[in-house]
Amino acid sequence: MQRRQFLSLSAFTAVAIIIPASNAEDFRATKPTVWTAHNVDDAVKAMYGTNEVIQSGVILTIPNPAPRGSAVPVNIKSTIEAKSVALFQNANPESAVATWTVHEGSIIDYDIKIKLKSVGEPIAVTAIVEGIDGKLYSAVSTLKVAPGGCDGGA
């Protein structure tokens, strides 16, 4: 009995150590509505409380047309001193793809592969960088996903 108590206690402690790391922010926990929004405007508003963005300072690179919807390479670059970065798109059922918390020493040069549903019409992918000045900087990349490939987000 004592051993069992000890084991359950140690398991609990291990979990407790892993999760709350320094000033880390889990946007899935703190901003749950971002992840259920069905369009980019709603998702941006849920994340940042505003839709006012400045269209500069962010470089978003995605091949057009993307050969495979199941793994579209996306690169986000910026030299803005930032608090966070977020990536949205308007092809899949929900808009949010990923958000990053920028830490000391972090360089905003993120490569990630994402799923995009081939919808026949051009897809807009939006990257937003939240500067430490509180302003939102954005870049939009429009692309097509080659038809006949994998079913991206479906």
Partner 1 sequence: MKIKAKLKGDIVKVKAMAKHDMTTYDQAKGKTGNSDDANFITRVTASVNGKIVYEMSTSQFLSKNPIMKFQFKGAKAGDKVEMTWIDRKGNTKTSKGKIK
Which parts of 18-37 interact with partner 1 (CB under 8 A)?
Answer: 18, 21-22, 24-28, 35
With a CB cutoff of 8 Å and minimum separation 6, the contacts of 107 are none
Cα 34 from Cα 99, distance rounded (Å): 10
Residues 120 and 40 sit within 8 Å (Cβ to Cβ): no
CB 127 within 8 A of CB 111: no
> Out of 70, 78, 118, 138, which residue is the one contacting partner 1 (CB under 8 A)?
70
Total number of residues shown for the chain = 154
Strands 123-131 and 82-89: antiparallel
By CB atoms closer than 10 A (0-12, 13-18, 19+), residue 57 is middle
Residue 45 binds partner 1, judged by CB under 8 A: no
> Which residue, 54 or 67, has its beta carbon nearer to partner 1?
67
Residue closer to partner 1 (CB basis): 36 or 54? 36
Q: Determine the size of the site formed for partner 1 (CB under 8 A).
A: 37
Contact between 93 and partner 1 per CB under 8 A:
yes
Q: Is 121 in the site for partner 1 (CB under 8 A)?
A: no
Work out which of 62, 78, 90, 100 binds partner 1, going by CB under 8 A: 100
Q: Name the residues that contact partner 1, by CB under 8 A.
A: 18, 21-22, 24-28, 35, 70-72, 89, 92-94, 96-101, 103-107, 109-116, 153-154
